[in-house]
Amino acid sequence: MRCATHPEVETNLSCGRCERPVCPKCMVQTLVGPRCPDCANLKRLPTYEVSLRQYLIAVGVGMGVAVAAGFVWYLIWRAVPFLLLSLLIAAGIGYAIVEAISLATNRQARSRITGNRWH
Ligand SMILES: [Zn+2]
Ligand SMILES: [Zn+2]
């Protein structure tokens, strides 16, 4: 038996799900036994869904903050007639938006990347 992805490699291992022959180089050891890279990727799909949900939450948070910031910006624009000062405050609000979004996403994204051997 030869590995499906490395035809030059002789192996007696096979994926427990699709039974494709795999060599130790491309075999992925999972809790339920050896898997080929494809099946290991299938198994990781829920992780991707979680990250997609996190992304959507981040977009939602970002849009909410942006709307709030726009309202604050409108109030400032009316209250502060000096253009330069308004721009400085706007820059501060923009920084706050970026901080809020990265706080909402970064911590979990970072732990996902370090805990994932396929990255
Ligand atoms: Zn497989
Ligand atoms: Zn292989």
Q: Are residues 59 and 94 in contact, defined by beta-carbon separation less than 8 angstroms?
A: no
Phi, psi of 62 (to 5 degrees): -60, -45
46 CA distance to ligand 1 middle (Å): 17
Residue 37 and residue 28 in contact, taking contact as beta carbons nearer than 8 Å? yes
Q: What is the pLDDT of residue 83?
A: 66
pLDDT of residue 91: 85
Give me ligand 1 centre to Cα 39, in Å.
4
pLDDT of residue 109: 57
- pLDDT at 94 exceeding the cut of 60: yes
Instruction: Read off the pLDDT of residues 109-119 as tens digits, 9 standing for 90 and up.
Output: 555 555 555 55
- Among all ligands shown, which has an atom nearest to the Cα of 22? 2
Grade residue 8 by pLDDT with cuts at 50, 70 and 90: very high
Task: Give the Å distance between the CA of 37 and the centre of ligand 1.
Answer: 7
pTM above 0.75, yes or no: no
Distance 11 CA to ligand 2 centre (A): 9
Task: Identify the pLDDT of residue 20.
Answer: 92
- Closest to 118 in 3D by CA, of 43, 59, 31: 43
- Measured in Å, residue 2 CA sits from the centre of ligand 1 at 14
Mean pLDDT of 67-96: 78
Query: 18-69: per-residue pLDDT in tens?
Result: 999 999 888 888 888 888 988 887 655 556 566 777 788 888 888 888 888 8
More confident residue, 87 or 65: 65
How far is it, in rounded angstroms, from Cα 23 to Cα 3? 5
Question: Which ligand lies nearest to the CA atom of residue 37 in the structure?
Answer: 1
Tokens of 24: 């130790």
pLDDT of 117: 54
Q: Cα(93) to centroid of ligand 2, in Å?
A: 52
